[in-house]
Amino acid sequence: MKIYFPAVLKRSTFGGVNQFLSSFIRCLCSRYDYIEVYDHTGRSDGEISVKDYGAFGNKLRKVILLLHMLAFPFKLKGIDHVVLNPSLIGSAMNRDLFYARVCGLFNVSYSIYFHGWNKIFAERIDGDQKLKSSYAGYISKSEAVFVLSSHFKKKLIEWGVPAEKIHLSKTMIDDDFIPDSIIVDQSDGIDILFLSRVVTEKGIFEVLKSFDLHARNNDKSCLTVAGAGEDLDKAKRFVEENSIPRVKFVGHADDVMKKKLFSEHQVYILPSYAEGMPISVFEAMAYGLTVITRPVGGIPDFFVNEKMGYLVDSLEPEVYSDIFDAIESSPGMRVEIAEYNREFVKNNAVASAICRDFLEKSIPGECLPK
């Protein structure tokens, strides 16, 4: 069986979608010997090259992707199934609408896995019957649609996509990302980790303000900011101008560095304004960290408040500072949360389980091995 991902996997940029694809494709290549994975450049070995290409490099990438798009009809010969991975934004939806139409012309089945979900663009679709009909049509013709939130599912049904085609799913982490054991530091102070793109929309400034309040009365707590992004320099200036103590910026973290960071911290915070379902939350849970995040995207569909950490609707720094204080003063609670989170990820968010579910729902029955 030949499965095609319309992307250039060797020239990927940082982000949750490409991290998802990396785990997904590695799982397909390593666990299913009857499956061959292809992308725009040919057969994939399961490895994805991810880096920051800079302004000029990203423009060049877009030109290369456009050329591959135009060549897509000629690459479908012998392909059994295409996996589309859009976010709900105009550029991604129009790109994958093109891919879906080509698949229809050549009678190749396809499935859709929605990642990001732009609320403003969803409202635009709500108010444009022609746009709604166009998108709902191509989504409905897929073998299966996977979304990360029950809210997203409800919206697709409102647009006319058959409910039986829509499946709630999760993002995934590699099976071998989970450590064999974890040790929770119960000493005074807490080590807090923010690991994401360093942009305003991920809540970086709420994190810095909250930690500033907490650090005034907790001289042993520390904050690490891992990641790159357009607001990184602004965040560094904010720390310097406000003399916030014990904040460390470590830049982009690859898998090796992420494992080290997760093993060295007890708390993970991501007060993002909007999400699909962030992989970093599951990675932090796999290492037993207490998670602080917001009820956005698909997070409320799985997150158990006060068992996994704290689900906080507010963006007020004082609220997060109080939570830091509560976590710091309750080492026994940190241990209970660590054990619960690690078991949850092992049973619910590893690539092997999610890949199998994806294949069973998206590949026509006659294409699956007996």
- Tell me whether residue 246 is exposed, middle or buried, using C-beta atoms within 10 angstroms of its C-beta: 0 to 12, 13 to 18, 19 or more: middle
**pLDDT (0 to 100) of residue 15:** 58
**DSSP-assigned beta bridge partners for residue 194:** 225
The hierarchical CATH code for the domain 176-348 is 3.40.50.2000
Q: Judge whether 96 and 66 are in contact, CB under 8 Å.
A: no
- Residue 98 buriedness (CB in 10 A; 0-12 / 13-18 / 19+): middle
Could you tell me if residue 15 is left (phi over 0), alpha (psi between -120 and 50 degrees) or otherwise beta? left
pLDDT at 370: 45
Pair 293, 271: CB distance under 8 Å: yes
Cβ–Cβ under 8 Å, residues 285 and 308 = yes
The two domains 2-172+350-367 and 176-348 share their CATH topology (first three levels equal): yes
Q: Any idea where the domains of the chain sit in the sequence? A: 2-172+350-367, 176-348
List Cα–Cα distances, 192 to 101, 126, 195, 359, in angstroms: 47, 40, 10, 37
In this prediction, residue 288 carries a pLDDT of 96
CB of 356 within 8 A of CB of 69? no
Q: Rounded CA gap, 167 and 62, in Å?
A: 31
Question: Over its length of 370 residues, how does the chain's per-residue pLDDT go in tens digits?
Answer: 999 999 887 665 555 677 788 888 888 888 888 899 998 988 987 666 655 556 666 688 788 889 999 999 999 999 999 999 998 888 899 999 999 999 999 999 999 999 888 889 999 999 999 999 999 999 999 999 999 889 999 999 999 999 999 999 888 888 888 998 888 888 889 999 999 999 999 999 999 999 999 999 999 999 999 999 999 999 999 999 999 999 999 999 988 999 999 999 999 999 999 887 888 999 999 999 999 999 998 899 999 999 999 999 999 999 999 999 999 999 999 999 999 999 999 988 888 888 888 898 988 664 555 4
Q: What CATH architecture does domain 2-172+350-367 belong to?
A: 3-Layer(aba) Sandwich (3.40)
List the one residue out of 88, 69, 93 whose CA is nearest residue 4: 69
What is the distance, to the nearest Å, from the Cα of residue 35 to the centroid of all Cα atoms in its chain? 24
pLDDT of amino acid 12: 58
